[in-house]
Structure 1
Amino acid sequence: MSQNHYQVLGVAPTAAAADIKRAYRQLVVRYHPDKHGGDVRYEDQFKAVAVAYGVLSDPGRRATYDFQLQQAARRVEEARRQQQHRPATQHVYGVPMPPPVPLRTRPPAGSRERHYQRIPRQQPRFNARDWGLTLLFILGLVVFSLAVKVTMDRISANRNYDDGLRAYANGNFAAAHAFLEETLHFRPDYAPALRRRGELELLLNHNPQAARADFQAALLQRPPRRVAADLLYRLGRCETALGRPAAAELSFNRALTLDSTLSAAYLARGKARLLDLNQPEKAVADLTQGLAQRQRTGAGPPWQFVQVRGVAFAALGRYDAARADYFHVLQARPADGRTHFLLGRLAAHTGDTTSACEFYRRALRLGYEYARAAEAECR
Structure 2
Amino acid sequence: MSQNHYQILGVAATASAADIKRAYRRLVVQYHPDKHGGDVRYEEQFKAVAVAYGVLGDPDKRATYDFQLTQAARRLDEERRRQQHRPASQHVYGVPMPPPAPLRTRPPAGSRERHYQRIPAEPPRFNGRDWLLTLLFVGGIVLIALTVKTTMDRVSARSNYENGLRAYARGDLGAAYSFLEETLHFRPGYAPALRRHGELELLLQRDPQAARSDFRAALDAADLSVRAKATTYYYLGRSEARLAQPAAAVLSFTKCLALDSTLSTARLARGEVRLLDLHQPAPAEADFTAGLAQRQRAGRLLPWHYLQLRGLARTALHRYADARNDYFDVIRANPNDGRTHFLLGKLAAHTGDSTAACEFYRRAVALGYAFAEMAREGCK
2:208 aligns to what?
Answer: 208
- The equivalences for 1:260-275 within 5 A come to 260-275=261-276
- The equivalences for 1:283-322 within 5 A come to 283-322=284-323
1:350 and 2:351 are equivalent in the alignment: yes
Q: Per-residue displacement from partner, 1:161-206 (whole Å, max 9, x unpaired)? A: 1111122122221111111111001111111111111111112222
Q: Per-residue displacement from partner, 1:126-157 (whole Å, max 9, x unpaired)? A: 12222121111111111111111111111111
Quote the Cα distance in structure 2 between the aligned partners of 1:176 and 1:124.
62
Quote the Cα distance in structure 2 between the aligned partners of 1:236 and 1:281.
20
Quote the Cα distance in structure 2 between the aligned partners of 1:294 and 1:123.
87
1:238 aligns to what?
Answer: 239
Quote the Cα distance in structure 1 between the aligned partners of 2:75 and 2:260.
71
Quote the Cα distance in structure 2 between the aligned partners of 1:161 and 1:322.
46
**Greater Rg over alpha carbons, structure:** 1
Q: Per-residue displacement from partner, 1:101-147 (whole Å, max 9, x unpaired)? A: xxxxx9xxxxxxxxxxxxx9975321222212111111111111111
2:139 aligns to what?
Answer: 139
Q: For 1:235, give the aligned amino acid.
A: L
Quote the Cα distance in structure 1 between the aligned partners of 2:127 and 2:316.
87
1:361 and 2:362 are equivalent in the alignment: yes
Q: Aligned in 2, Cα 1:67/1:206: closer, same or farther, shift over 3 Å?
A: farther
Q: Per-residue displacement from partner, 1:261-297 (whole Å, max 9, x unpaired)? A: 2211211111111111111111111110011111111
2:107 aligns to what?
Answer: none
Quote the Cα distance in structure 2 between the aligned partners of 1:122 and 1:303.
95
Quote the Cα distance in structure 2 between the aligned partners of 1:179 and 1:248.
29
Q: Per-residue displacement from partner, 1:221-255 (whole Å, max 9, x unpaired)? A: 13222221111111111111111111111111111
1:329 aligns to what?
Answer: 330
| Worse overlay, 179-188 or 197-206 | 197-206
Q: Aligned in 2, Cα 1:374/1:129: closer, same or farther, shift over 3 Å?
A: same
User: Which secondary structure state, in structure 2, belongs to the residue aligned with residue 346 of structure 1?
Assistant: helix
- The equivalences for 1:242-257 within 5 A come to 242-257=243-258
CA offset at residue 365 of structure 1? 2.3
1:7 aligns to what?
Answer: none
TM-score normalised by length of structure 2: 0.68
Q: Aligned in 2, Cα 1:274/1:184: closer, same or farther, shift over 3 Å?
A: same
User: Which secondary structure state, in structure 1, belongs to the residue aligned with residue 379 of structure 2?
Assistant: coil
User: Which secondary structure state, in structure 1, belongs to the residue aligned with residue 371 of structure 2?
Assistant: helix
Q: Per-residue displacement from partner, 1:73-93 (whole Å, max 9, x unpaired)? A: 9xxxxxxxxxxxxxxxxxxxx
2:127 aligns to what?
Answer: 127
Q: Aligned in 2, Cα 1:371/1:126: closer, same or farther, shift over 3 Å?
A: same
CA offset at residue 69 of structure 1? 8.9
Q: Aligned in 2, Cα 1:135/1:323: closer, same or farther, shift over 3 Å?
A: same
- The equivalences for 1:96-107 within 5 A come to none
Quote the Cα distance in structure 1 between the aligned partners of 2:82 and 2:265.
86
1:155 and 2:155 are equivalent in the alignment: yes
The alignment-based identity, stated in percent, is 60
CA offset at residue 364 of structure 1? 2.1
Once superposed, which parts of structure 1, at least 4 consecutive aligned residues long, lie more than 6 Å away?
67-70
CA offset at residue 64 of structure 1? 6.9
Q: Aligned in 2, Cα 1:337/1:125: closer, same or farther, shift over 3 Å?
A: same
Quote the Cα distance in structure 1 between the aligned partners of 2:75 and 2:271.
86
1:198 aligns to what?
Answer: 198
CA offset at residue 358 of structure 1? 2.1
Q: Aligned in 2, Cα 1:129/1:370: closer, same or farther, shift over 3 Å?
A: same
TM-score normalised by length of structure 1: 0.68
CA offset at residue 377 of structure 1? 3.0
Aligned length: 279
Quote the Cα distance in structure 1 between the aligned partners of 2:83 and 2:124.
42
1:176 aligns to what?
Answer: 176
Q: For 2:308, give the aligned amino acid.
A: Q
Q: Aligned in 2, Cα 1:312/1:67: closer, same or farther, shift over 3 Å?
A: farther
In structure 2, the gaps of 5 or more residues are 1-72, 88-110, 112-119
2:218 aligns to what?
Answer: 218
CA offset at residue 67 of structure 1? 7.5
User: Which secondary structure state, in structure 2, belongs to the residue aligned with residue 232 of structure 1?
Assistant: helix
RMSD value over aligned CA atoms?
Answer: 2.6
Q: Per-residue displacement from partner, 1:45-67 (whole Å, max 9, x unpaired)? A: xxxxxxxxxxxxx8985567658
Quote the Cα distance in structure 2 between the aligned partners of 1:64 and 1:375.
122
| Worse overlay, 58-67 or 205-214 | 58-67
CA offset at residue 321 of structure 1? 0.4
CA offset at residue 341 of structure 1? 1.3
User: Which secondary structure state, in structure 2, belongs to the residue aligned with residue 369 of structure 1?
Assistant: coil
Quote the Cα distance in structure 1 between the aligned partners of 2:345 and 2:74.
108
1:186 aligns to what?
Answer: 186
Quote the Cα distance in structure 1 between the aligned partners of 2:79 and 2:360.
112
Quote the Cα distance in structure 1 between the aligned partners of 2:122 and 2:378.
109
Quote the Cα distance in structure 2 between the aligned partners of 1:376 and 1:195.
50
1:276 aligns to what?
Answer: 277
